[in-house]
């Protein structure tokens, strides 16, 4: 029987281990890049969700202020309302109410009662300090005495 000579096997283990090391390094680098991309996507989704929540919350606050007015709340029937709400973390929400809207006689009231239904579109644009913005439109309906 012939035994393989030791001289021919020198370096085979070294070359094999270097190839495995390169393959594992490429695999780890690929996984790291994928993780970073997934973190960015998750962060962008979180910012978008926060902007949406801020915009919807301010629209709800605005609708409640029109349904139950207090001193200093905007008169949304007669004029353009536009104002900005700022949060402690620096996020802002711009509320815009166009002067145009539609007005019909209130179908739920008795004929000739003089009550009308005013319909307008409230627009909330939320912006985050971290980037991104979200725009939400919400129709608002209120019973008013006149459409003028």
Q: How far is CA 52 from CA 47, 86, 96, 127, 139, in A?
A: 9, 15, 16, 9, 16
Decide the pairing of beta strands 116-127 and 92-97.
antiparallel
Query: Hey, what are 65's tokens?
Result: 């202020």
Instruction: Let me know: does 101 contact 122? Beta carbons within 8 Å.
Output: no
Decide the pairing of beta strands 81-86 and 92-97.
antiparallel
Does the pTM surpass 0.85? The reply is no
Instruction: Let me know: does 138 contact 119? Beta carbons within 8 Å.
Output: no
By three-state DSSP, how is residue 12 classified?
A: helix
For the chain, what are the domain ranges? 6-144
- Kindly report the three-state secondary structure assignment for every residue of 30-62: HHHHHHHHHHHHHHHHHHHHHHHHHHHHHHHHH
Task: From first to last of the 148 residues of the chain, give the pLDDT tens digit.
Answer: 566 665 666 678 888 999 999 999 999 999 999 999 999 899 889 988 988 988 888 888 877 776 665 555 555 555 456 778 888 888 888 888 766 677 887 777 766 667 888 788 888 889 888 888 888 888 877 777 777 6
């Amino acid at each position: 029987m012939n035994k393989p000579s030791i001289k021919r096997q020198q370096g085979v283990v070294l070359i094999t281990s270097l190839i495995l090391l390169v393959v594992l390094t490429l695999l780890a680098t690929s996984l790291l890049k994928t993780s970073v991309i997934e973190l960015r996507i998750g962060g962008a989704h979180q910012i978008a969700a926060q902007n949406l929540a801020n915009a919807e919350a301010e629209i709800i606050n605005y609708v409640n202020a029109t349904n139950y007015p207090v001193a200093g709340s905007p008169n949304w029937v007669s004029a353009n309302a536009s104002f900005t709400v700022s949060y402690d973390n620096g996020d802002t929400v711009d509320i815009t109410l166009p002067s145009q809207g539609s007005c019909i006689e209130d179908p739920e009231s008795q004929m000739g009662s003089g009550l009308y239904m005013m319909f307008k579109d409230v627009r909330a644009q939320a912006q985050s300090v971290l980037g991104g913005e979200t725009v939400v439109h919400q129709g608002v309906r209120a019973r008013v005495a006149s459409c003028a």
